Structure 1
Amino acid sequence: MLKIIEKTKIWFTISAIIIVVGLGFMATRGLEYGLDFKGGTVVQFNIGKDFNKADIDAIVKKYDKDFQSNKVNNTFIEIKSANLTSDNISSIEKDVKAKFKESSLTNQENIGAAIGKETRNKAIQAVLLATVAMLIYIGIRFEFKFGMAAILSIVHDIFVMLAVYSIFRIPIDSSFIAAILTVIGYSINDTIVVFDRIRENQKYARRMSVTELANASITQTVARSINTVLTVVITLFAVYAYVPSIRNFSEPLLIGIISGCYSSIFIATPFWVMLKKHGGKKKLQPAK
């Protein structure tokens, strides 16, 4: 049987280091918000044929060093920037047209800072609403201590994702928020598998301590959790590598899914054990 709970300090220390370093970067350098949150310009070109994305990036870099570009459906490219002016866009259009005769500007859209602020506020509200709803559901379905432990592990995953994005200066956009909500759902599902096994094992836990019960339940479910996350990670890595147009979504998913698997095993259950012991229940009673 795995001795996971006895090494709780190690697991918490690993997470604390990542989160504290991330908070340090956020405090000193802040988060790198994408166009969806800080406003700017979105430009789309139809090149008319398959092309090398690096050629377009080289043209845009002459007018703006800080931009994002995504190749869409082999013949389209989308450029996002907070600094491009109308004159810059006209110059870029001429340069692209000179290199690719069949190219054309198909879309130009300005996103105001006020819209970006509203999007950011709604994203925060969506995450908070999802978290509270899951706390209520798990509290009713299992018990309140299970719900608290699950929510703490979700908060852990969100902070880990923010830490990675802050440290590596990866822009945060609306895809990141969608990924967070997806990760929350995945992580809570993985955590519930362990909690459900704990509840089932309570039937035979008359003489088993909380720590022993948790270790036994994790041991019985750890292979399933790791195998499941490996299949998801392999798929996401393939999407990240070969489908650049949705890389902004697959990238945070990769980080969050790995963190969610870790937290389900090494964070959520140890938290539950701590809450259970804090409540003064050293032994578990059989489930009714």
Structure 2
Amino acid sequence: MRFHRLLLSALLFSCAAAALRSESPVHVVETGQTIYGIARTYGVPYESILAANGITDPRKILPGTRLVIPTSHRVAKGETLYGIARTYGVSLEDILRVNKLTPGAVIKPGDLLVIPGAARAPAASPSLPAASSAPGGTSAGAGGTSGTPAAKPGSGAAAEASAKPAVKPSAGGAWPASGDAAYLDGKLFGVGIRAEENAPIRAVRSGTVISAGPFRGYGRVAFVQAKDGLVYVYGGAQNLSVRIGESVRPGTEIGRAGIDLKEGRPVVYFLVFKEGNPLDPAKVPRE
């Protein structure tokens, strides 16, 4: 029961921070761009962009067209529509409506679903938190809306933070992924690591996986609880190598870094909680 309370606290804290972020990115098509190239830029399947924007013929997009870049989900073995809806905090009815599915529809591994909330223009899907050189900063705006310039990869506050001093773990420890790290901006206390795409995300301490899967706005996320109760959160993965209930050791591969939809480049997220309260990731125990 204590595990469930701790996990719920961590999830609620993450949701509260994510809710402060702005709307889904909007991409303005430029001369020479194709739907396939745009999809690769943002690291999302092109089918999701077509579905979210009601496009039937991708050859007909013209320069100046505003495209909502949606949240999408690739169905894994054992998943259900109801479970996916709960994971993303949306209603089953909305998922059925957006994906034009009937109530009795059967999904199979490999199917691609558009997640509602990112399928409306302008959409209301939370973006990933930007990075800052110090904790406790104010929330940075990100993402395009109907009244602001469209977002482009690498144009947010996280890109600006790349010139600021990197944060290093105390006592010579390591981050879960190679790359410069900076404290996250806003109320969510953690770090963002500018990693390479497909770079391994590794555990920094032994523990048991208590949650693993997609988490809205943070890619795929794994929660690992150590013996002393600290929960280590590894996010920003395009895929996970661990499952709930598995034991991990320092160096165990948690997953592989994926593209941040807002910044257009990989960002690995690392947070640590004690009884639902965030700790400084640079100072937490490592092995």
Q: Which has the larger radius of gyration?
A: 1
TM-score over 0.5 for the alignment? no
Which structure is richer in relative contact order (CA contacts within 8 A, separation 6 or more)? 1
Where is the strand percentage greater, Structure 1 or Structure 2?
2
Q: Pick the structure with more helix per residue.
A: 1
